[in-house]
Amino acid sequence: MRRVGVEEEFLIVDCVDGHAVPLGELLDRLNDDDGLSSEMKQEQIETCTLPRTTLDELAQDITARRASADSAARSAGARAVALATSPLPVQSTATPGLRYQRMIQRFGLTAIEQLTCGCHVHVEVESDEEGVAVLDRIRIWLPVLLALTANSPFWNAMDSGYASYRSQAWNRWPTAGPSEVFGSAEAYHSEVQEILSSGVLLDKGQLYFDARLSHRHPTVEVRVGDVCLFADDAVLLAALVRGLVETAARQWRDGVPPVPASAVQLRLASWQAGRYGLDADLLDPLTGRPRRAFDVAMALLDHVQPALKSQGEFDIVESLLFQALTRGNGAARQREAFAKAGSMCDVISDAVEVSSLPTTALRKLTDSPLLAGDQSL
């Protein structure tokens, strides 16, 4: 089985009123946990699991890293919360360092306003050739992952109208979003070199494709998701991404070509997913036509079913997916909290409580998947 790792970015908020506070660099210095690190903005902190083979190990890591981030924040009078954007207005603070200074100088307001939290999943690949073949074949499914993880409806104390406004803010970067089919590792690296030769980007780290070859690890890195409010959904995302990678690698070995959807078509699908999440139609990955979100999610599950079954993960992934579809994603929970209290502070308070809960992903399920999902609320 391919090893998988998860990076989660968390917002650091004040314990009293929930506004974002610039403590990331301080927490990074004070904490001994190698799984915590500062990010571009001091109002966030990033966690990173170890590369794991089993979902059991990964779920334990995700729970432990979330607890570690929150514990570090508590030591400074704050909390770490799984929100992909701040519901309250914030003037974010750049983390000191030459690279971040250069990013702000070059990209202006895009970098100044950039305070979003994502979830990145790394899955091991055997070679760049296999990795690019995977990128070419998973790209049509990435908008579905965005819909499942959408967790950023609020921006500057307003309802943005989007389930994932993070995706809108993030896509202002020059290379963010879907890419075309590359065809080979040579073509991928040639395209990367052409982009870097333009002088627009500072370095390879700014290749913000929805999915890319990692320039640090022998992995495919899928970057399309919001940070998940529910730890269970982070486990679900990782499992689905690994299932997609394994399925794509098998297709490549069997000579199955990638679906020739254009980047423009995929941008439309991602916009639809970011706008509505699971609350309206998504675009079918194979036809590009509107289809019920539930049906598209089931099509994704069917697509990766053989890989999940061969890895002994199908039952738990099916249960986690039904749970997410039944209770809704993080955006739905945030809007529900606001509807009850009418206060962004209460939205943040509820999110702090929910995101600090340990994952229940590997519990023994004795009921049907739908009932199991209901019981987890």
Mean pLDDT along residues 134-145: 98
CB 72 within 8 A of CB 36: yes
Count CB atoms within 10 A of the CB of residue 203: 11
Mean pLDDT along residues 41-58: 96
Q: What would the pLDDT profile of 260-272 be if each residue is shown by its tens digit?
A: 999 999 999 999 9
CA-to-CA distance for 327 and 11, rounded, in angstroms? Answer: 23
Q: What would the pLDDT profile of 16-42 be if each residue is shown by its tens digit?
A: 999 999 998 888 776 666 688 989 999
Instruction: List the CATH number of the domain containing 221.
Output: 3.30.590.20
User: Which positions ≥6 away from 295 have C-beta within 8 Å?
Assistant: none
First to last CA, the chain: 31
Mean pLDDT along residues 80-91: 97
Q: How confident is the model at residue 105 (pLDDT cuts 50, 70, 90)?
A: very high
Q: What would the pLDDT profile of 148-195 be if each residue is shown by its tens digit?
A: 999 999 999 999 999 999 999 999 999 999 999 999 999 999 999 999
Percent of all residues in the chain with a pLDDT value above 90, rounded to a whole number: 89
CA-to-CA distance for 293 and 34, rounded, in angstroms? Answer: 38
Residue 145 lies in domain? 4-375
Residue burial 15-37, b: 16+ Cβ < 10 Å; e: rest: eeebbbbbbbbbbbeebebebbb
Q: What would the pLDDT profile of 239-262 be if each residue is shown by its tens digit?
A: 999 999 999 999 999 999 999 999
Count CB atoms within 10 A of the CB of residue 251: 17
SS3 164: strand
Q: Is the pLDDT of residue 108 over 50?
A: yes
Q: What would the pLDDT profile of 269-290 be if each residue is shown by its tens digit?
A: 999 999 999 999 999 999 999 9
CA-to-CA distance for 179 and 146, rounded, in angstroms? Answer: 16
Task: State the total domains in the chain.
Answer: 1
What's the pLDDT at 373?
38
What's the pLDDT at 78?
96
Query: Torsions phi, psi of 237, nearest 5?
Result: -60, -45
- Rounded to the nearest integer, the mean pLDDT of the chain is 93
What's the pLDDT at 363?
64
What's the pLDDT at 281?
98
